[in-house]
Structure formats: structure tokens, C-alpha cells
């Protein structure tokens, strides 16, 4: 398992004093108390990369139905009762934020697979891959690398063009919230000025085009998370963590406890954890909630209705899912009736309408999950 180098916030000079050129342009005309008073629905469902991520080697056709991180994927997800969609934003060398998950574009030239770093492409180069918007124009073929090292063509049932962050704001159903993941290279060391510049470019697009759309920022890069919180107080910021599933050089990424520290030190609003990390350490959930932090999760287990219902019982605030139709229906069937019971009750609190489990009982149920679910 690779140890990954991350630049620590403590290594950055004068970080408590964000340059005025950055902070002033993001505060004009904004409700700076909005993030502080942020509250999410009682249980939130978020579409992963829109309608769901693509796993090209999967035998499940749902993982290859619609091109991930595309306008088509976002608007397809909007047809279901989702609160947000999640997508990945990177800033290219010409300062245009684009939506793409992988660090590299993989393509074929003269029978050889080449990789090109997304952030080193200009806009025209980036958009020339995959389906083209212009009628009759053919784009360059996209490939992906599987976990076992094989290169496969990025083929899905319904393909779509690559897009920019501005495209998403202008072309996606306006009532649908955006969970914008700020993507950074795990192996890169970022200087303060470079991090500030990347975040500035993204924030400029957000503030120009977001209007009333709900926005959440999230990132695995702890310094970027704390910086974007310092640069603006309009939208909530969440710290992403694998919850100990992988070990990184930067210890802040290695556990839910460390994620809590990042959030509390930086004034962040919550944590987004790989669900297996939460199931392995269920005792962390009440600690996170007692710290007035929100907790969302991601991961393959979130495509299993029983695992989603378990998280609702544990007090988790929401899930990022690939099977948006099935899980949004699960939430409707399992969770919303409990809310209706609360509404009809005589002074009952919503908490009392839930099934109540002790920590011991929850721990026992969590031990059963691997036996109940095949994954």
C-alpha cells in the first residue's frame, strides 16, 4: 500500500491571514452566515457522479448505463427524489474547472495507450475526448484502467460529452443540489499559492452561476478543505476520508477521529466517510454528532438497501449512492413513513419515531451485515 505525500496546513506560512485579494472577491453580496446555519434534510440521498459511477468490468449493467460525470447523467439523476448529485472538479492549466474523476485521460494513438494528466490539458484538448457536441465530428476514444492493470474502452449504454463546471450550472435542473468534490492529486505536494489559486478559480464559477442552487464542497485534501472554508462562509465544507481503509503519509486522512480534528480545527461542517470505516467503528458516530458535525457516507455498501436503512438508524445524515433509483425508493419506503408518523403524532419528537437501539444492539447488527449482504 503506497504511502502518499500531503502538504500539511501547519507547513503553510500565514495561513490564518488569507490574502485580501482572495477573500474580498468572495464576500461581496453574500450571506456569510449561510454555511454556519446550514442544515440538511433529515436523511439525504446523493447521486454518485450523477446517476452513478461507471465500473466497466462490472457484470451489473447499471454500472455501465450512463456516462458518469456528464450532463446526461446529472439530469437523469434529477428525475428521482435526490437532494444532491456529487461530482469531481479539477482545474486545468488554462484555469477552467472541468468535471472528471480520474487524474489522467487515457486514449489510444497508433495502437498505443497514452495517458495525459487532466490538469495539464487546455479546454479544447479536454473536450476532444469522447462524444462530440458538433454533429458529424468524432471524438478521440477514451479508455480506463481496471484494478488488475488492464486497459478497457470506456463504453457505456448511453454516452455523453465531457463537460465543464459552468456547463453543469447552466444545463442541469436548477433545483438539484451540487456536492462539488474538489479533486487533487494524492501524490502531489501543493504550495499555498497554488492551492489558493485553484480554489479561487472554482469559487469564481460557483458564485457567478450558482444562484439559489444548494452547494456543498468536499475534498480529501485537508489543507484545501480548511482553505476553502477560510475563503468563503457561504457554503458548507465537508472533509472526505476513507476512515482508515487506506493508510496515507498524512495522518489526518487515516481515521474518523483525525477527520473530526480537521473539521473542528478548520470550522468545517461535516465528514464524508467510506461506509466501511463507519461500520468498523460505529462508536465514532455519536462522537461526531456530539461535536455538531454532519456525517455522510459513500461506498459500494451504500447501494444495498439494508445498509442504508442501518445508517439511518445509526443517525447518519445521508448517503452517496450509485443506484439512485433503487436507493431513493428505499428511502421513501423505509424512512419517510417514520416522518409521517411523527407529523401525525401528538407532540412526539422525530427522534422518538425511529426504532431505538442501544449501542450494544447496533454493534451486534453491524456484525451481521457481512453475513446478510454478499459483496
Helix/strand/coil (H, E, C) string of 325-348? HHHHHHHHHHCHHHHHHHHHCCCC
The pLDDT value recorded for residue 6 is 36
Q: Residue 351, Cβ neighbours under 10 Å: how many?
A: 9
The DSSP secondary-structure symbol of 303 reads G
What number is the average pLDDT over the span 49-64? 96
The pLDDT value recorded for residue 29 is 31
pLDDT, tens digit (0-9, with 9 covering 90-100), for 269-316 = 999 999 999 998 888 999 999 999 999 999 999 999 989 999 998 999
The pLDDT value recorded for residue 188 is 87
Please give the grid coordinates belonging to residue 193. 499559492
In this structure, which long-range contacts are made by residues 248-255, counting pairs with CB atoms below 8 Å and at least 24 apart in sequence? Answer: 248/3, 248/4, 248/6, 248/186, 249/3, 249/4, 249/5, 249/6, 250/4, 250/5, 250/6, 250/8, 250/222, 252/6, 252/8, 252/222, 253/6, 253/220, 253/222, 255/281
The pLDDT value recorded for residue 333 is 86
**Distance of alpha carbon 51 from alpha carbon 70, whole angstroms:** 9
Phi, psi of 101 (to 5 degrees): -80, -50
Contacts of 96 (CB under 8 A, 6+ apart): 123, 164, 201
Q: Do residues 205 and 199 make contact, with C-beta atoms less than 8 angstroms apart?
A: no
**Distance of alpha carbon 131 from alpha carbon 124, whole angstroms:** 13
pLDDT, tens digit (0-9, with 9 covering 90-100), for 129-154 = 999 998 889 999 999 999 888 999 99
The DSSP secondary-structure symbol of 141 reads P
The pLDDT value recorded for residue 2 is 39
Q: Nearest to residue 203, comparing CAs of 67, 52, 24, 56?
A: 24
The pLDDT value recorded for residue 15 is 41
pTM value? 0.85
**Distance of alpha carbon 150 from alpha carbon 148, whole angstroms:** 6
Task: List, in sequence order, every residue forming a beta bridge with 241; answer none if it has no partner.
Answer: 273
Contacts of 239 (CB under 8 A, 6+ apart): 218, 219, 220, 222, 225, 259, 262, 263, 266, 268, 270, 271, 272
Give the whole-number percent of the chain exceeding pLDDT 70: 78
**Distance of alpha carbon 258 from alpha carbon 265, whole angstroms:** 11
The DSSP secondary-structure symbol of 144 reads E
pLDDT at 191 over 60: yes
**3-state secondary structure at position 120:** helix
The pLDDT value recorded for residue 247 is 87
**Distance of alpha carbon 48 from alpha carbon 345, whole angstroms:** 35
Which domains does the chain show, CATH number per domain?
A: 44-102+164-335+363-369 (3.20.20.190)
**Distance of alpha carbon 228 from alpha carbon 249, whole angstroms:** 22
pLDDT band at 344 (very low <50, low <70, confident <90, very high): low
HSE (CB half, 13 Å, CA atoms) of 206? 27
Please give the grid coordinates belonging to residue 99. 468535471
pLDDT at 79 over 90: yes
HSE (CB half, 13 Å, CA atoms) of 173? 18
Q: Residue 30, Cβ neighbours under 10 Å: how many?
A: 14
Amino acid at each position: 500500500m503506497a504511502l502518499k505525500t500531503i502538504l500539511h496546513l501547519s507547513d503553510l506560512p500565514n495561513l490564518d491571514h488569507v490574502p485580501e485579494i482572495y477573500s474580498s472577491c468572495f464576500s461581496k453580496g453574500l450571506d456569510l452566515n449561510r454555511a454556519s446555519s446550514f442544515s440538511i434534510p433529515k436523511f439525504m440521498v446523493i447521486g454518485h457522479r450523477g446517476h452513478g459511477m461507471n465500473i466497466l468490468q462490472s457484470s451489473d449493467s447499471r454500472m455501465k448505463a450512463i456516462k458518469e460525470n456528464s450532463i446526461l447523467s446529472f439530469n437523469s439523476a434529477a428525475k428521482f427524489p435526490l437532494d444532491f448529485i456529487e461530482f469531481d472538479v479539477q482545474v486545468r492549466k488554462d484555469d477552467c474547472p472541468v468535471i472528471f474523476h480520474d487524474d489522467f485521460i487515457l486514449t489510444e494513438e497508433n495502437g498505443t495507450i497514452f495517458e495525459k494528466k487532466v490538469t495539464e490539458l487546455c479546454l479544447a484538448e479536454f473536450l476532444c475526448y469522447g462524444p462530440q457536441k458538433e454533429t458529424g465530428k468524432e471524438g478521440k476514444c477514451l479508455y480506463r484502467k481496471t484494478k488488475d492493470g488492464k486497459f478497457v474502452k470506456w463504453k457505456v449504454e448511453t454516452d455523453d460529452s465531457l463537460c465543464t463546471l459552468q456547463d453543469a450550472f447552466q444545463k442541469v435542473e436548477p433545483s438539484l443540489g451540487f456536492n462539488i468534490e474538489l479533486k487533487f492529486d494524492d501524490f502531489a505536494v501543493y504550495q499555498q499559492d497554488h492551492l489558493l489559486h485553484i480554489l479561487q478559480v472554482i469559487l469564481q464559477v460557483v458564485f457567478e452561476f450558482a444562484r439559489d442552487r444548494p452547494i456543498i464542497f468536499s475534498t480529501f485534501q485537508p489543507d484545501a478543505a480548511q482553505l476553502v472554508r477560510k475563503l468563503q462562509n457561504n457554503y458548507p465544507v465537508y472533509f472526505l476520508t476513507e476512515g482508515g481503509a487506506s493508510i496515507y503519509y498524512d495522518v489526518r486522512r487515516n481515521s474518523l477521529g483525525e477527520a473530526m480534528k480537521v473539521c473542528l480545527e478548520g470550522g468545517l461542517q461535516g465528514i464524508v466517510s467510506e461506509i466501511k470505516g463507519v461500520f468498523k467503528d460505529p462508536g465514532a458516530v455519536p462522537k461526531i454528532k456530539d461535536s455538531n458535525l454532519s456525517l455522510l457516507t459513500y461506498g459500494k455498501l451504500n447501494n444495498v438497501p439494508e445498509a442504508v436503512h442501518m445508517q439511518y438508524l445509526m443517525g447518519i445524515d445521508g448517503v452517496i449512492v450509485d443506484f439512485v433509483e433503487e436507493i431513493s425508493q428505499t428511502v421513501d419506503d423505509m424512512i419517510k413513513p417514520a416522518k409521517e408518523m411523527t407529523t401525525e403524532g401528538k407532540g412526539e419528537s422525530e427522534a422518538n419515531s425511529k426504532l431505538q437501539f442501544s449501542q450494544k444492539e447496533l454493534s451486534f447488527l453491524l456484525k451481521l451485515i457481512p453475513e446478510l449482504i454478499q459483496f
